[in-house]
C-alpha cells in the first residue's frame, strides 16, 4: 500500500518535470526564434472562439475631400457633406457594436477596401445643398452576389425609409453610384451598396440636427440584412 503511494507520487513528479521541461523548451525556442510565430499563433486559444460578424461602412469622402459644401446667405461654410457622413457612420457603428457587430469605418479610398472580405460594405454619402428631398440606394450593375445585394437594397428601402421618413428619390441615381469605385476594389463576394442619405439642402433638418435618427436607419438596415442572411444560411 505504502509502496503504491510512493509510486504514484513518483509518477506525479515525473509528469510535473516533463511539463516544466516542455515549457522551458518552448519558451527558449520562442526567444531564439526557432519556433515559428505561425505555430504559436495556431495554438492561440482566440482562434477557436466564434468570430463576431464583421461589416464595413465607408464614411463618404473621409481622408480625401469634403464632398458637398453648404454655405449661408453670406457665403460662409455652414457644414460639409464629409462632416455629416462621419457623424452618421460613427453613430451607426456605435449602435451596431452594442448589438455585437464588429464594424470597420473606412475612408473613401481606404487601402483596406482592396479585396475587402466582410459580410457587407455600405458607403454613406449625402447629396448636394439643393432644395430637393429623398434618399437613394444603389448597388453594382453586375454583381456576382445578386441575391445578397438585392436583400441589402431591400433592407435599406424598408428600414432607412421607415426610420427617417424620407421617400426614395431614384431619378437622380447616377453612374457615380452604380459604378462606384469601391465596388471594383472589394472581393466580388462581398455584398455592397452606396446610400445617399438625403439632400443637404431639402433634408437639412434631418441630416444636420437629427443624425441619430439617420444612424438608426442605417443600423437597422444592416441588422435586417444580417438577420436575413443568417436565416438564408440556416435553410
Ligand atoms: Zn458624396
What's the rounded mean pLDDT across residues 169-184? 83
Q: DSSP string of 122-179?
A: EEEEEE-SSS---BEEE--SS-S-HHHHHHHHHHIIIIIHHHH-PPB-GGG--HHHHT
Q: What is the pLDDT of residue 41?
A: 61
Ligand 1 centroid to residue 133 C-alpha, Å? 15
Ligand 1 centroid to residue 123 C-alpha, Å? 9
Query: Residues with Cβ < 8 Å from 169, sequence gap 6 or more?
Result: 132, 133, 134, 135, 136, 196, 199
Ligand 1 centroid to residue 66 C-alpha, Å? 8
Q: What is the pLDDT of residue 235?
A: 79
Ligand 1 centroid to residue 195 C-alpha, Å? 9
Share above pLDDT 90 across residues of the chain, in percent, rounded to a whole number = 70
Q: Which residues partner with 54 through β-bridges?
A: 102
- The grid coordinates of residue 116 equal 475587402
Q: What is the pLDDT of residue 19?
A: 72
pLDDT tens for each residue of 104-138: 999 999 999 999 999 999 999 999 999 999 999 99
Residue from 217, 75, 97, 200 nearest 156 by CA:
217
Ligand 1 centroid to residue 173 C-alpha, Å? 12
Ligand 1 centroid to residue 177 C-alpha, Å? 10
Q: What is the pLDDT of residue 21?
A: 72
What pairing do the DSSP bridges indicate for beta strands 102-106 and 136-138? unpaired
Query: Does 1 score more than 60 pLDDT?
Result: no
Measured CA to CA, the distance from residue 147 to residue 130 in angstroms comes to 34
CB 180 within 8 A of CB 196: no
Query: Does 11 score more than 90 pLDDT?
Result: no
pLDDT tens for each residue of 224-233: 999 999 998 8
- Give me the helices (H) in the chain, please: 2-32, 37-42, 81-98, 146-155, 161-164, 175-178, 181-185, 204-209, 211-234
Confidence (pTM): 0.79
Which of 8-22, 150-164, 212-226 shows the lowest per-residue confidence on average (mean pLDDT)? Answer: 8-22
Average pLDDT over the chain reads 89
Q: What is the pLDDT of residue 14?
A: 75
Amino acid at each position: 500500500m505504502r509502496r503504491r503511494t510512493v509510486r504514484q507520487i513518483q509518477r506525479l513528479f515525473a509528469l510535473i518535470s516533463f511539463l516544466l521541461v516542455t515549457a522551458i523548451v518552448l519558451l527558449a525556442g520562442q526567444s531564439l526564434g526557432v519556433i515559428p510565430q505561425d505555430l504559436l499563433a495556431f495554438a492561440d486559444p482566440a482562434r477557436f472562439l466564434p468570430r463576431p460578424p464583421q461589416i464595413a461602412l465607408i464614411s463618404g469622402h473621409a481622408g480625401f475631400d469634403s464632398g458637398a459644401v453648404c454655405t449661408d446667405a453670406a457665403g460662409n461654410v455652414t457644414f460639409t457633406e464629409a462632416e455629416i457622413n462621419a457623424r452618421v457612420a460613427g453613430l451607426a457603428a456605435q449602435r451596431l457594436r452594442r448589438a455585437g457587430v464588429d464594424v470597420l469605418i473606412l475612408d473613401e479610398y481606404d487601402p483596406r477596401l482592396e479585396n475587402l472580405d466582410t459580410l457587407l460594405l455600405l458607403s454613406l454619402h449625402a447629396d448636394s445643398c439643393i432644395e430637393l428631398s429623398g434618399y437613394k440606394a444603389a448597388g453594382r450593375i453586375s454583381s456576382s452576389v445578386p441575391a445578397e445585394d438585392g436583400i441589402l437594397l431591400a433592407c435599406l428601402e424598408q428600414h432607412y425609409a421607415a426610420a427617417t421618413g424620407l421617400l426614395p428619390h431614384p431619378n437622380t441615381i447616377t453612374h457615380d453610384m452604380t459604378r462606384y469605385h469601391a465596388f471594383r476594389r472589394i472581393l466580388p463576394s462581398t455584398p455592397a451598396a452606396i446610400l445617399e442619405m438625403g439632400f443637404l439642402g431639402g433634408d437639412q433638418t434631418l441630416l444636420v440636427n437629427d443624425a441619430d435618427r439617420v444612424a438608426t436607419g442605417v443600423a437597422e438596415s444592416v441588422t435586417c440584412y444580417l438577420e436575413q442572411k443568417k436565416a438564408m444560411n440556416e435553410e
